[in-house]
Amino acid sequence: MNQPAVIHSDGALALALALVGSSTLPTLLLDDQLVVLAASMSFGLDFDVDPISIRGTPFAEIAKGAWAKPQLIAMLKVTAAGYAEVNGYEVSLARSGQETRTIVVRAQKLMYGDGEPVRLMLSATDVTDARSTEQAKDALIREKAVLLQEIQHRVANSLQIIASILLQSARKVQSEEARGPLRDAHNRVMSIAEVQRQLAVSVSSAVPLRDYLSHLCESLSASMIQDHRRLAIEVRVDESIVGADASVSIGLIVTELVINALKHAFLDRRHGKIVVSYQARGEDWTLSVADDGVGIPTGRAAAKPGLGTGIVDALAKNLGAEISVANTRPGTMVSISRRAAVAGTIVKPLVSV
């Protein structure tokens, strides 16, 4: 019934030429002397030549020799001899009156029958626009990196200015009563600044808590403890890595509670230790600041009203956590705990009656 159509040699040639001619990839069919036998319409369009009249032209003479790159010609000759292929060879095509384009050339010898004339298939892809887009993208990425560094630098300077002004104001003020809040404000600014530094050096936008709280407590210790042999702050934190906002909140809570402890727990000036601890298990975590000082005087509520406690309450609520205060005899422990189960209950909407 259906037999494969036999294409006579003339028909075969006509088919081949038609195939080359209609190729969407800019293509040339060359003979063993690198003379053009056929060119695709797309080649004609892309490189401004007439695909019909170019037949019979040596490849090296197209566009007044613009394609005659010695290395490319040599490679095409080797390809025609059957020893190699041209696999993505890049040339800079410079034609008079036109801007230089970057062309990727591929060529292979067609294996279509023993004893048949040598035929080379050559394709030429203009990648100039794609390349310049890539370069523009790279330049943009570099620009953004520089911009980011500039912003970081400016943020660091701004924080430095704020911190220094607070300290300077504290120095200038006469009374200890007025100086205290300014120094506390300074410590709070430094705790936020430390989060910035952690974020800048971290790969993700998250903060390794142990690193952060250790640096924070070192800073607090340097600022607030006169005699390091008498008073020390110890940090016991697990491997938790926490998001930026939560870190800021945790850092501010620790700052407040440590400042409180330093102000109230060691009034009789004996030796003392403050322990800052954070442990997490799954979604649950507990942050605590404990001192071995005088403890809470009986009859007093958990903490004195004042800017300090207000912040801790607000931050704990923000974190979905609860505060508890325990008398540890000696000393006091303030714990902030988040239990996912409990937190879920807290945020459940009220049912209207």
Partner 1 sequence: MMHCKNVVLVVEDNALVRFLTCELFEAAGFVALQADGTLAAVHVLETRDDVGLVVSDLAMPSHHDGIALVELVRKRWRPVKLLVITGNLTASRCELPRDAHLFFKPFNDHVLLKAAEDLLQAA
In the complex, which residues of this chain contact partner 1 (CB under 8 A)?
149, 152-157, 159-165, 167-168, 171, 189-190, 193, 196-197, 200-201, 219, 222-223
Q: What is the Cα–Cα distance from 346 to 44, expressed in whole angstroms?
A: 73
Q: Which is nearer to partner 1, 39 or 190 (CB)?
A: 190
Q: Which is nearer to partner 1, 173 or 343 (CB)?
A: 173
- Length of the chain equals 353
Q: Which is nearer to partner 1, 102 or 221 (CB)?
A: 221
Q: What is the Cα–Cα distance from 306 to 113, expressed in whole angstroms?
A: 95
**Least Å distance between CB 209 and partner 1?**
18
**Least Å distance between CB 264 and partner 1?**
22
**Least Å distance between CB 193 and partner 1?**
5
H helices present in the chain, as ranges = 9-22, 41-47, 70-80, 128-172, 176-201, 209-224, 244-264, 307-318, 340-346
**Least Å distance between CB 201 and partner 1?**
6
Q: What is the Cα–Cα distance from 332 to 264, expressed in whole angstroms?
A: 10
Q: What is the Cα–Cα distance from 268 to 274, expressed in whole angstroms?
A: 15
Q: Which is nearer to partner 1, 128 or 152 (CB)?
A: 152
**Least Å distance between CB 175 and partner 1?**
18
**Least Å distance between CB 277 and partner 1?**
23
Q: Quickly tell me which residue has 């996912």 as its tokens.
A: 340
Q: Which is nearer to partner 1, 109 or 186 (CB)?
A: 186
CA distances to 129, 169, 226, 306, 329 from 178, rounded to whole Å, are 66, 10, 20, 14, 32
Q: Which is nearer to partner 1, 154 or 271 (CB)?
A: 154
User: What is the amino acid identity at position 147?
Assistant: L
Q: What is the Cα–Cα distance from 59 to 49, expressed in whole angstroms?
A: 12
